[in-house]
Structure 1
């Protein structure tokens, strides 16, 4: 679709009179502007690297130190070089080359710079020591001890001014390796409510044997790794839990994020795409320049930002085993089944996006005239794609199903059919794009008259779509529906949901407010008169490859059809009322989930709640085992008609406090599951079998839960504009006979739940579980009798 004469900078023909050279000045101009943009970006990266490398020091701080040092030594009549040149002059005739005044200046600069480097090094290490203390996490909610207040002041003092995104990376502490004894004790404590006496006694024997014999040997290797690497968990977690999976990543791994719940800023698909794509590219520009503020707890304590590095220009590339033998066979039920050699391919720079519409792929350049395209210009490009009436090439329409099915067929097909010629060029255009965009030809949105079915359909579309209209290997897919609703589908290996959520919050807050639309629904601004159109990608897909595509599609469709999704906004009350109960909102919801699950299945189960470990360098997640003995005692009391309200309330408070303690331990590096996971890996590398570790890692997570935090609260004024709330996001079921539950707490009065399970399991029903969650929330709130207290007052 692009103009042919704009594709090359020059043409020449050989004539009897010589060579006739024709230069295309517009093409040469674009080449010049592209080069200029590239060098600017390199300079910015170099400058940011210097600024981050010397943090909490700064170049201005160096200037202050030099001026202060030179002034002080001059006033005190002290040699600024501290005698360095005097000693050197006995061996080298310095005075022949440098005057006395020059020696004074050079010596002062050298000593002053050394002093500045020393001060910066000391500040950084003091900050690292301060950030290694996590006592503040265990303070009572809503109150800070004097010790914590003093510590916060010291952290602020040594943090330096105006930190950039990666400024704190070298100051963050390393994730500690917990003692084997503590991990085994906590595991047995978490396993007790799920086992009868005989099962527990057997597991206790295995645990004690491991703690005494094999555990210390494995622990030694883990400690050695923790001293050598930035994080002893993250690289193994990424490789073995994500990249070595052979099963489909669609549903099993990828997750989604939803649009505003109650409003659609414009019903024009191209316009919505124009604003959102521009907002995403502006976020990438801030990311490249490290201008995004690092996430700070209590506006003071920094969290790791390493996961942001691969947000853009990244694609997961499948690989066959290629002779690399597996050191293990994980029975960990989150993701993996078997093993292969997937890798994450990340490009430093990408100036285009890949777009899919009605079975056709396009490459759309995001820069022209040396600048980023404006929203109306991006809308113009999307409009050109939407009006294109050309038919998909053979095999093109279903091509993306390869990324939705099993990984090995995709890896083999990629190697056999996409390693050369036009197929390789087109595949490179997709995989090396900044991100992937799907212009969906269906309409999705929340319908007040049909809330259940509309939201369930919307979630399933974001999670898996038609199984061939999302490129599931890309770091994330922006999906824009025909009626202007949109959402994200994100690949999981490169980062966790809060990082994608940070981007999504920026997009949603920029779209209707900062960028806006005209009265007729178009992006603001004017179309570009000379903008080259999108480039249609060309494919030559043989019938043999089409057979593989159809096979992958069949696998993906079977998986997608089995997903039972249910999304419901819980608006009876929110965190505002929960806080009046003097209970943590997250603890309240987690206990409600346990009560709901017991009512749903009549039994307790191993429960996974994700927490962050980003207080440490390159930290990702840890598991909070939410099904505790204390929570089970409360649930049994709720099911006992003879138990009094006071007894139930007392047990609830004990359960909530226990949950908070477990969450704090997980966040501060003293969780159970990542430590056991790494111990298991070491045992497999050493060829040692552990019955204890094997059983622990084979236990299924039949209830997997996660809270989607709203991180940039200042971007959303939910009091004045309550309609601008997102429904959060969700993920597929982890166990075949279990539930996946994601929830987001919005404002003071709304909590949105996303529930997933499988139709094929006779034990689960997402809608039934949703009803149980709602009733459990109401029943627990009723224990506090807040209305009675208000009446008494």
Structure 2
């Protein structure tokens, strides 16, 4: 039995939570039968030909651009701008200790004159949209998957739902909304995250990279790490002091509350449903060679320790001479049920309980990894893999604590980034932290109070660096540790990453044609899938809901009749350049309308999720509508896309939601685009590398379409 069978495959996103069920093998009958090797060579050659052609015409492409369409909105970078929410995964449910960039926004964002969190008192209440409007949009989203006759059946099922059980569930949801300012967030967090039993590793937690670093010696390695720790602590101070900028959309403030949920937060395993706790700590946990160290980061006067003082403590860790510790960190890669049992067994011994509690209460963890060999040309892909899962038991996987919301990971070979647990908040806070740190660490004097190290004296912290200890592993704990080893090895072996830079053009060229860049990229992802697999995928990305109090995000259902017409036009030999361009314009315009609706709380999926929750909470049977072919197919997302927009040479990476599709994150920069594609290595037709080639081909083909139409 392999990993995905162990967790009931494929991982089918089902709105309520990720449901895992065996899929009909016939679903893949129309996939192209070309061998991977042959297909790879053909696609590589196509990319080379079209790329060279487009590069040769780049100047004319940028200087002679027709005014094709009115600009539907402005795209905003994430230079300390908390407006992009790139993932389609959400949740927000914190408990006290005593008890997770959107897609190229279609709405114009502006910076408010106010920065204090306390003034955000007039955030909007999350609405309950009329059910008939949501179901109309739902039918529009499923129509591309069916023939006319089968679609009529879906219409009948949907109409019956509207007139019967759906109406009753809608009334329950309206009543819930009267009692709660945001009826969605806590329910979504519990159902999608805290009750989710698969591992956090890859199945849930994304990563965000720093640009590739260069460490000529161990001193530079420690200096970067110390500056990153200092920067993260400084950012925490900005959050606590209410100094983050507050952005507005159409005159309404965007909620910054997610930024308050990431420091000191941990997800603790429990049977059937995990819990989130947040602590106000004065230390971080440093992990080196599987050993754990409690490292203070504040002075007795509550100031962040200087970079020199932090570096001095990190040097003590590196020079401690401790042999590799027990692989306790591997527990956090296992299924949540397994980790729950191991957590209970581990903490029965007092020394283990104290160590685990110390780790859980830290502000964040810092993993000082062992160097890994990086094959030429695979630097980005290896970086994403190391940040997502650590490479397995013989690499750096035990040098992690996946339950912590923030894990800073640094390797002496120059790879660095943040692994992020999504339950407390979306990835936007982590992306903003990365951007903040990267913009400051370039300053050689950043975080240094004195120019002469001799002026520091001893560390002025109220505590000293402390080595944490675990008791000797007994047979019971070893049993669960063996299970964790099997899980992480299967994950690291079966996940395939392909991260690359498309350097023909970027945001500036797309915007010059008055097209919204994100919608343009979404159509390229769909065209690439259609060319690879000869069928239309259910495709999603996220739009932020931060215009609402405690808002997280809503799904944009990218697949539409307009996107279907576009990909058909692109693959048709009879279609003219003009008809293809018009189909592209119609598709991106409709995607922008979907984005606007989603950001205003008028999407499809969160509303339907709410109705399912009402059935559960009121002990009512789940209506047949949720078992229909239309609902099941439209929520089995085979492309899960996420955008992180930053000017840095950085990107986000996330795992796929099922074994039949891809995870695809991208950083839309001015003159290039960085992609990170992931896929499980189960279906021979699903290949992250080949889908990456197909994305490049689609982008070049679309660029050539614009250029050819311009010439005409």
> What residue number does 1:285 align with?
237
**1:414 pairs with 2:343:** yes
CA 1:640–1:411 in structure 2 vs 1: closer, same or farther (change >3 Å)?
same
Deviation at 1:760, TM superposition (A): 1.5
Measure, in 2, the Cα distance between the counterparts of 1:303 and 1:685: 30
**Aligned counterpart for 2:407 among listed residues 477, 495, 507:** 477
8 Å CA contact retained: 1:565, 1:754: yes
Tell whether the 8 Å contact from 2:529 to 2:694 is kept in structure 1 after alignment: yes
- Cα distance, 1:419 vs structure 2: 4.4
User: Which residue does 1:386 correspond to in 2?
Assistant: 318
Alignment of 1:180-259 (within 5 A): 180-259=131-210
Runs of 5+ consecutive residues of structure 2 not aligned to the other structure: 1-69, 76-106
Within 1, Cα distance between the matches of 2:213 and 2:221?
Answer: 17
Instruction: Name the structure 2 match of 1:459.
Output: 384
2:645 is matched with which residue? Answer: 709
CA contact (8 A) 2:540 2:639 kept: yes
Deviation of the 1:763 alpha carbon: 2.2
Per-residue CA deviation, residues 654-680 of structure 1 (Å, 9 max, x unaligned), is: 111100000110001100000001101
Normalised TM-score (structure 1): 0.72
**What pairs up with 1:9-408 in 2 under 5 angstroms?**
140-141=72-73, 162-168=114-120, 170-261=121-212, 268-297=220-249, 301-320=252-271, 340-347=272-279, 349-370=280-301, 371-392=303-324, 396-408=325-337
Give the structure 1 partner of residue 64 of structure 2: none
CA distance in 1, matches of 2:274, 2:285: 22
Could you tell me how far apart the structure 2 residues matched to 1:657 and 1:264 are?
46
In structure 2, the residue corresponding to 1:249 is in which secondary structure? coil
- Tell me the CA shift for residue 709 of structure 1: 3.0
* Residues 559-574 of structure 1: pairs in structure 2 closer than 5 A: 559-574=491-506
Of residues 690, 700, 719 in structure 1, which corresponds to 2:623?
690
| TM-score where L is the length of structure 2 | 0.79
Structure 1 Cα separation of the partners of residues 157 and 123 of structure 2: 36
**Greater RCO, CA 8 A, separation 6+:** 2
Q: CA deviation at 1:285?
A: 1.4
Question: After superposition, what is the alpha-carbon deviation per residue over 1:689-726, rounded to whole angstroms, capped at 9, x for unaligned?
Answer: 3111234257411111111133xxxxxxx6xxxxxx23
Structure number with greater Rg is 1
Contact 1:361 1:537 in 2 (8 A): yes
- Residues 421-446 of structure 1 show CA distances to partners (whole Å, capped at 9, x for unaligned) of 1111111110000001100012578x
Match of 1:765 among 683, 687, 707: 687
Query: Structure 1 residues 484 and 767 mapped into 2: Cα distance closer, same or farther (>3 Å)?
Result: closer
After the TM superposition, which of the residue ranges 432-441 and 189-198 deviates more from structure 2?
Answer: 189-198
Say yes or no: does 1:738 pair with 2:661.
Answer: yes
Contact 1:353 1:366 in 2 (8 A): yes
Q: Is the 8 A contact 1:379 1:523 kept in 2?
A: no
Structure 1: how far apart are the matches of 2:371 and 2:407?
A: 16
Partner SS state of residue 640, structure 2: strand
Match of 1:781 among 690, 703, 712: 703
- Separation (CA, whole Å) in 2 of partners of 1:612 and 1:408: 31
* Contact map agreement 1:248 1:556 (CA 8 A) in 2: no
Cα distance change, pair 380–778 in 1 and its aligned pair in 2 (3 A): same
Distance 2:370 2:651 in 1: 23
How far is the alpha carbon of 1:141 from its aligned partner? 3.4
Q: CA-to-partner distance for each residue in 1:215-238, whole Å, 9 max, x for gaps? A: 111111111222221211111110
Which runs of 5 or more residues in structure 1 are unaligned? 1-137, 144-151, 321-339, 711-717, 719-724
CA contact (8 A) 1:275 1:515 kept: no
- 224-233 or 172-181: which moved more? 224-233
1:681 deviation in Å? 1.3
- Flag the 1:515–1:603 CA change in 2: closer, same or farther, 3 A: farther
Give the total of aligned pairs: 595
Aligned in 2, Cα 1:517/1:212: closer, same or farther, shift over 3 Å?
closer
- Among 445, 452, 458, the alignment partner of 1:530 is 458
Residue of structure 2 equivalent to 1:499: 429
Between the aligned partners of 1:728 and 1:542, the Cα distance in structure 2 is 41
CA distance, structure 1, for counterparts of residue 672 and residue 366 of structure 2: 30
Distance 2:605 2:137 in 1: 10
Shift of 1:263: 6.0
- Give the 5 Å matches for 1:428-447: 428-443=357-372
RMSD after superposition? 2.6
Whether the aligned pair in 2 keeps the contact of 1:517 and 1:523 (CA below 8 Å) is no
SS in 2 for 1:277: helix
Counterpart contact for 2:199–2:335, Cα < 8 Å: yes
Q: 1:268-319 CA deviation, whole Å, 9 max, x = no partner?
A: 2211111100111111112122222224448x64211121121101100000
**C-alpha distance in structure 2 between counterparts of 1:643 and 1:461, whole Å:** 44
SS in 2 for 1:468: helix
Distance in 1, Cα, partners of 2:215 & 2:149: 57
CA deviations on 1:587-615 (whole Å, 9 max, x unpaired) are: 11001111100011110011111111111
CA distance in 2, matches of 1:512, 1:550: 43
1:424 paired to 2:353: yes
In structure 1, the residue matched to 2:538 is 606
1:595 aligns with 2:523: no
2:527 equivalent to 1:576 = no
Q: In structure 2, how many angstroms separate the alpha carbons of the residues matched to 1:514 and 1:473?
A: 33
Q: Given that residues 581 and 705 in structure 2 are in contact (C-alpha distance below 8 angstroms), is that contact kept between their aligned partners in structure 1?
A: yes
Structure 2 CA distance for aligned equivalents of residues 583 and 266 of structure 1: 46
